[in-house]
Structure 1
Amino acid sequence: MPHSCAALGCVHRCTVQTRSRGITFHRFPKDQELRKQWEEALRREGFCATQSSTLCSEHFRQEDFDRTGQTVRIRNGAIPSVFSFPAHLQRPVATRTSRTSKKAPESPSVDGSQPVQETEPLPVPNVDHSYALPTSPDDLRARLSEALARVESLEREKRNAKDRERRAKNTLRGLLEDLRGKNLTNDELKDDLNSDLPVHLLSKQGHEYTKDQKEFALTLHLHGPKA
């Protein structure tokens, strides 16, 4: 017949199923004083442990076990302390009601005349600022993901801008070669184009085109609408 746990309300029995769940069973100690402490810990009125009485491992703390050997054992002097007792067996928590205990929480004064003022708590940092780190690891990871996505977007815009600039230069070079081939360029246009491609005349810096950009566009148009 399998052993049952002697704790009040515990339904664990020493079977293959319980052992597969890691639950072990332990006999009451032979030492009379320690055995009595185990019996009192159960809070079962009139209970007296026998040689076959056991307690399951669910009623002990992790530090109560000795797992150094092949067999799980209870450390010497350990007492079961993990139980779920009904309301009528719950022990009331002792409260401090004496005059001395009531005065104990009060802070003593330095000179005996006035109580010491409590220090104000440190202000909690405002996490709404963009430079403040979030307190939650999940929020921190989210902020990092947003920052990486922003960097990737900016790098993509930079690559697209460089591609547009390269295409504009190639288009302008082709137009200039076409003008040179047709002898449609004058000295003024040659002076503007001999040094290098006027990139500053091809990009709009503000809301309106500059005077130089307008004059350059008119000059190209006069020599050829295609330019």
Structure 2
Amino acid sequence: MPSFCAAYGCSNTRCLETRTRGITFHQFPKTGERRRMWEVALRRDRFAASDRTTLCSEHFRSEDFDRTGQTVRLKDGVVPTIFNFPAHLHRSVATRTTTTSRRADDNLPMDLMPDVGATGERRLECKRQATDHLYALPASPKAIKAKLEEASARVRKLQREKTNAFRRENRAKNNMQALLEKLKEKNLYI
């Protein structure tokens, strides 16, 4: 029985094509509160998820996934945030009204801008980066944590690559040593 994505306007189904595109499907949580949060995030009138209702991976951010094993899993406590809602379902985004708070937003670098709204959309307008006070921490702890997690993941990946490179080098040395030993045995070594 094929699985369909329950998100508004999403036509992804669990099939070979979506699998080759890297799209995975995830069932709604079994617990009541998390399940309710997912249902609310979908913004569908009178929607109640069943035990077989699924959402595709296109409705989650890349950092929401645990890809350490063979199976792609969602991290604990994750709620879907990326949707393509029609205009009547968009929620208004509260904007800052004071001059000081607007100036603080203008000084944030683009990669540290907080997410806007429940849709996970990022601000698209370019923000001017302040040239003074670049040593100061960004206003959002979530942005700091995201940068730290991204850097830590990159370090772990580079450490794995380094270890694999050392292992390949040792195998090549051992193979060369074994070939030289065979040549010596056959008196072909000069």
Q: What TM-score do the two structures reach when normalised by structure 1?
A: 0.43
Unaligned regions of 5+ residues in structure 2, if any?
104-129, 132-190
- Counterpart position of 1:21: 21
Superposed counterparts of 1:80-99, under 5 Å? 80-97=80-97
Superposed counterparts of 1:1-227, under 5 Å? 1-97=1-97, 101=98
Q: How many residues align?
A: 106
Which digits, 9 at most, give the CA deviation of each residue in 1:90-114, with x for residues without a partner?
Answer: 11111345xxx357668xxxxxxxx
**CA–CA distance in 2 between the matches of 1:105 and 1:87?**
26
- Counterpart position of 1:182: none
Q: Quick one: higher RCO (CA 8 Å, sep 6+), 1 or 2? A: 2
Which digits, 9 at most, give the CA deviation of each residue in 1:143-199, with x for residues without a partner?
Answer: xxxxxxxxxxxxxxxxxxxxxxxxxxxxxxxxxxxxxxxxxxxxxxxxxxxxxxxxx
Question: RMSD of aligned C-alpha atoms?
Answer: 2.2
Q: 2:65, 2:74 within 8 Å by CA — same for their partners in 1?
A: yes
**CA–CA distance in 2 between the matches of 1:82 and 1:4?**
17
Residue identity in the other structure for 2:81: S
Q: What TM-score do the two structures reach when normalised by structure 2?
A: 0.52
**CA–CA distance in 2 between the matches of 1:46 and 1:31?**
19
| Higher Cα Rg, which structure | 1
Residue identity in the other structure for 2:34: L
**CA–CA distance in 1 between the matches of 2:54 and 2:77?**
16
**CA–CA distance in 2 between the matches of 1:9 and 1:104?**
36
Instruction: Return structure 1 stretches of 4+ with deviation > 6 angstroms.
Output: none
Cα offset, 1:76, TM superposition:
0.4
**CA–CA distance in 2 between the matches of 1:105 and 1:71?**
43
Q: 2:43, 2:89 within 8 Å by CA — same for their partners in 1?
A: yes
- Counterpart position of 1:152: none
Residue identity in the other structure for 1:62: S
**CA–CA distance in 2 between the matches of 1:103 and 1:71?**
47
**CA–CA distance in 2 between the matches of 1:40 and 1:6?**
12
Unaligned regions of 5+ residues in structure 1, if any?
107-120, 123-227
